[in-house]
Chains A and B, each alone.
Chain A
Amino acid sequence: MADNYLEAYGKETSQDAGERTLKYFEDLFSMEMPLSRMMKMMPGMVKFMMSSKDTREDLFKFMPQMTPMIKQAVTGK
């Protein structure tokens, strides 16, 4: 086992660790809605839709807003 943190990181420099961390935060706070992210949201929305009648109605009301977003995500424009 490594004796201290410099050994634990081995040859990796702080730049490498910093780069990785920045990438992580960029992904975490990204506002973009690519297709992959939208697909990840689908199961949650289906679960919400199935939970009761009024949740389904509310979600259907949102559909007109969602269609252009899906379009944008699919075409990438």
Chain B
Amino acid sequence: MLEQVKDWDDDFYERWKPIAMGFVNEAERCLQCGKCTGQCPAAAVTPGYNPRKLIRDLVDGNIKRILSSVELWQCFFCSGCYSTCPMDINFPFFIFMLRLGAMNEGYGWEDVKQLEAYAEKDYLKDGITVSIRERNPFVVDTVGDIGKIREAAGLPTKRVVSKRGVAEINMISDLSGMTSFMKKIGGVDLLDCNTCDDAQARRCKTKPLPSKVGKITTKTRFYNYGEPSGGKTNAKT
């Protein structure tokens, strides 16, 4: 793999820093001490995930490996790495920004697709991200109607954000491009091998993940940090 070294984008990180408005900085100070990985909850449950390696690859400019990896999407966003880092590298922000970059390359849309409803159906519609509807039937059995509990606690039956408030966040979303971003995510087809029909299967033979998001073709991610060989197995999800 040595010849691939030439392939790295050496100054990517240096050029990215000023563009990213201070969200990503100080990675060049990384000591490679591995404290972040030592206390990482995601690293504790997945052998492949390793914040130290991700930082190293970013600073060295091994962009393809980072952006196409499954590991990028395994972060718990707990900020534990930041709290323990001797050089104050705020790693969760790197993950956040790199995920945006990976989506631009076509990776990770299937994950984001599952979360889009929170923004579209709850955050922008009611102003509250987590709705009062309970999806888990066992919880409904135990708890019953949350509205009644709210009344008993002396609160209004339903927390309502005023119409004005909802109109304002909708305008913010329209003006800052969040709405069009969400429309892109809404365009992703999620296909599952267990449930897909014949027509979908036919499309599936020609394209790995049969969907296009605007100009972006969605792709499957790889376990780039799981195996030393560079991830032969495709990610299933």
Is there direct touching of A and B in the complex, by C-beta distance under 8 Å? Answer: yes
Q: Which residues of A contact B (CB under 8 A)?
A: 1-6, 8-9, 12-15, 17-22, 24-26, 28-29, 40-41, 43-45, 47-48, 51-52, 54-55
- Name the CB-closest residue of A to B106: A8
Contact A14 B7 (CB under 8 A): yes
Closest residue of B by beta carbon distance from A54: B164
A66 to chain B, nearest CB (A): 12
Given the known interface contacts A18-B9, A18-B63, A55-B167, the answer about A43 and B230 at a Cβ–Cβ threshold of 8 Å is: no
Are A4's CB and B231's CB within 8 A? yes
Cα–Cα distance between A26 and B20 once the two chains are bound (Å): 8
B67: which A residues are within 8 A, CB to CB?
A: 17, 21
Contact call B105/A17, Cβ cutoff below 8 A: yes
Q: How many Cβ-Cβ contacts under 8 Å join chain A to chain B?
A: 109
| CB-based contact B167/A15 at 8 Å | no
CB A65 to nearest CB in B, in angstroms, measures 15
Residues of B within 8 A of A55 (CB): 164, 167-168
Per-position contact with A for B60-77: 1 when CB-CB < 8 Å, else 0?
Answer: 011111011100000000
- Shortest Cβ distance from B169 into chain A, in angstroms? 10
> B residues within 8 A CB of A54?
164
Q: Which residues of B contact A52 (CB under 8 A)?
A: 163-164, 167
In the complex, A20→B8 CA distance in Å? 14
When distances are taken between beta carbons in the complex, the residues of chain B under 8 Å from A47 are 170-171, 174
A14 to B66, CA, bound (A): 10
